[in-house]
Amino acid sequence: MTHAAAKDRRPPALRARDAFAVLAILLAVALLAAGAARAQGGAQAGAAPRGAIAMHGEPALPDDFDHLPYADPQARKGGRLAIGFLGAFDSLNPFNLKAGSTAQGLNGNVFEPLMTRSLDEPFTLYGLVAKSVETDPDRTYVVFRLDPDARFSDGRPITSEDVRWTFELLKTRGRPQHRAAYSLVKSASTPDAHTIRYDLGDGADRELPLTLALMPVLARHATDLDKFDDPSLAPPLGSGPYRVAEVRPGERLILKRNPDYWAKDKPARRGMYNFDEIDIQYFRDANSLFEAFAAGLLDFREETSPQRWTRAYDFPAMRDGRMKRAALPIGGPKGMEGFVFNLRRPLFDDPRLREALMLAFDFEWINANLYSGLFTRTKSFFDDSELASTGRPASEAERALLEPFPGAVRADVLEGKWAPPVTDGSGQDRANLRRALALLSEAGWRIEDGRLVKDGEPFAFEIMVKDRNQERLALNYAESLARLGVAARVRLVDEVQYQRRRQKFDFDMMIGSWLASPSPGNEQRSRWGSKSADQEASFNLAGVKSPAVDALIDAMLKARSREEFVAAVRAYDRVLLSGFYIVPLFHASQQWTAFSNALSPPAGRPAYGSPTGSATLDLWSRKASERRADGP
């Protein structure tokens, strides 16, 4: 008998029972360990690094894709592109709060993100600076592994420390949309020089991994932190295909293609960024911009004026074939443009008043007499798409989302029966004005001596505009408002003043524009979310603070399927429409383009967004000769 056994004086049955209990515990521990190992292995298998990530469903392109479907890998490299924009610029830093008039053409050309969007899919990103992405099914974390080839334009490698430094910089000192999105991240770590991991918490915002993937990467070694918050005209350093070669403040920006661009042969960039030089010129007057194009000083023009499109393109270069024009179909949902009420002004508190002012806008007369009948009235924030709520009753899924917010959606909007008012086009239709006066009366306003008054105060406000086209439209609208006794003054301001007043919300009414994405998400917080209403330079021009709006933005971001997502967006659309925050304007279903015959448009066009690609024609190229060719 051993010494230990000699000391154990318990009965044999008790000793056997305790031995069995110990064996059971050891077996349970072993089973738990095996289960954990299997679970960990399964999680790792399900979260393997991939070269693409989709908001919903799977990426359309295989891992070994050669190029984006609408890019031409055989496109000719070389030549120069001259384009013009209206306005001016006072900064080359598009990322800080004071960047109100940043030069166009920097994002994409000079700065580029971790991953890049395919315009053939609603929201799918493919590898660029980050060659792969990894996340779990609940999207509680995301890991990006950088391409070892990735370089800034000065040849220095891009590291995970550059990415984390950019993240922290934009999170604390970037624009409102950066601060809002990046503040949702719990922590960021860099296990090695080519890996960055973000822990995101409970995964409530399923778009956050894609938002982080779209973050630009700034060069830490070339950024002056002391001056980051100020407008700067110092040529920035990025990792994109172009470098800033020349700057004439407010007038001109010249970009030159980097012959050593690190991603020129990567699938996501093959066939793109083909011009050796991009000359971006700024014009303060719309007529001067058009005349420069007609004289052959510019290669491309996107026309926005129906009158000019129908009447002004009969000039020599167009007649002899040196230039051509084409109306190209625009894919995806059409956004919203309209006269926006600044709800920070107590004058616009009452939604009945806002609806009344919307009734005074005579689209039919304006379209026929000012725009040659070429526009369509916009009736949804996601018009011409499956995301639009108008024309269809709310589904059960939508009604469930809206149930916690009684009164947030009007009955006619809920049933899909609401639409912007229609007139007889005579300019004298009184029916809508009678409806408007009835609503104003309900809100406590009365006509006295031809003026609309309440508590002895007349109804008067200012409409801020930035160019002659906006001014003409606003003057016509002001004339219609005058029939209601409303005194609307139209004030034209220059571009710099316009941007400063817009950023500080120093206006009564202005024309706002909200581009629509086939996959709206985080950007909606900056446009309509309550927190953004008081954030300077946000896109919440109206100053909306609505629990229903906030909840539906969250619902969009939590949606796991396309069906859940569509229901959330439609419900969101109904809430915005019911608020009458804007007077909806109109849109064109085609993009009117005119361009030099020396340019070669791409054979294919993306399914979503502009048919010409970016504003600097990243899918186009220049011909080797000036011979005439077929249109796009």
pLDDT in tens, 45-92: 347 899 999 999 999 999 999 999 999 999 999 999 999 998 889 899
Residues 253-300: tens digit of each pLDDT = 999 999 999 999 999 999 999 999 999 999 988 899 999 999 999 999
Rounded Cα–Cα distance for residues 309 and 290 (Å): 11
- According to the model, what pLDDT value does residue 204 have? 74
- Confidence grade of residue 599 (pLDDT, cut at 50, 70, 90): very high
Beta strands in 402-557 (DSSP E): 446-448, 451-454, 457-458, 460-465, 487-492, 509-514
pLDDT at 38 over 50: no
Determine contact, residues 576/381, Cβ cutoff 8 Å. Answer: yes
- Only one residue has tokens 């616009």, namely 348
| Stretch 221-244: mean pLDDT | 92
Determine contact, residues 609/333, Cβ cutoff 8 Å. Answer: no
Residue partners of 1: CB distance under 8 A and separation at least 6: none
pLDDT at 39 over 80: no
- According to the model, what pLDDT value does residue 285 have? 87
As given in the structure block, the two tokens for residue 17 are 């029972």
pLDDT at 16 over 60: no
| Stretch 228-245: mean pLDDT | 93
3-state SS assignment for residue 41: helix
3-state SS assignment for residue 266: coil
Q: Between these two residues, 585 and 38, which has the higher pLDDT value?
A: 585
Query: Running DSSP on this structure, what letter comes out for residue 518?
Result: S
Question: Of the given ranges (86-90, 439-443, 489-493), which has the lowest mean pLDDT?
Answer: 86-90
Q: How far apart, in Å, are the Cα atoms of 503 and each of 100, 467, 484, 533, 534?
A: 8, 18, 31, 11, 11
List, in order of start, the domains of the chain with CATH numbers. Answer: 96-227 (3.40.190.10), 242-330+589-622 (3.40.190.10), 336-587 (3.10.105.10)
pLDDT at 106 over 50: yes
Determine contact, residues 346/457, Cβ cutoff 8 Å. Answer: no
Determine contact, residues 122/559, Cβ cutoff 8 Å. Answer: no
As given in the structure block, the two tokens for residue 396 are 């059960």
Rounded Cα–Cα distance for residues 119 and 504 (Å): 33
pLDDT at 465 over 60: yes
- According to the model, what pLDDT value does residue 29 have? 36
Determine contact, residues 287/307, Cβ cutoff 8 Å. Answer: no
Exposed, middle or buried, 514 (CB in 10 Å: 0-12/13-18/19+)? buried
Q: How far apart, in Å, are the Cα atoms of 422 and each of 19, 105, 190?
A: 87, 40, 58
- According to the model, what pLDDT value does residue 176 have? 82
Exposed, middle or buried, 214 (CB in 10 Å: 0-12/13-18/19+)? middle
Average pLDDT along the chain: 90
Rg of the chain taking only CA atoms, in angstroms? 29
Rounded Cα–Cα distance for residues 559 and 206 (Å): 7
Rounded Cα–Cα distance for residues 78 and 70 (Å): 20
Alpha carbon 560 to chain centroid, angstroms: 21
Determine contact, residues 403/575, Cβ cutoff 8 Å. Answer: no
pLDDT at 355 over 50: yes
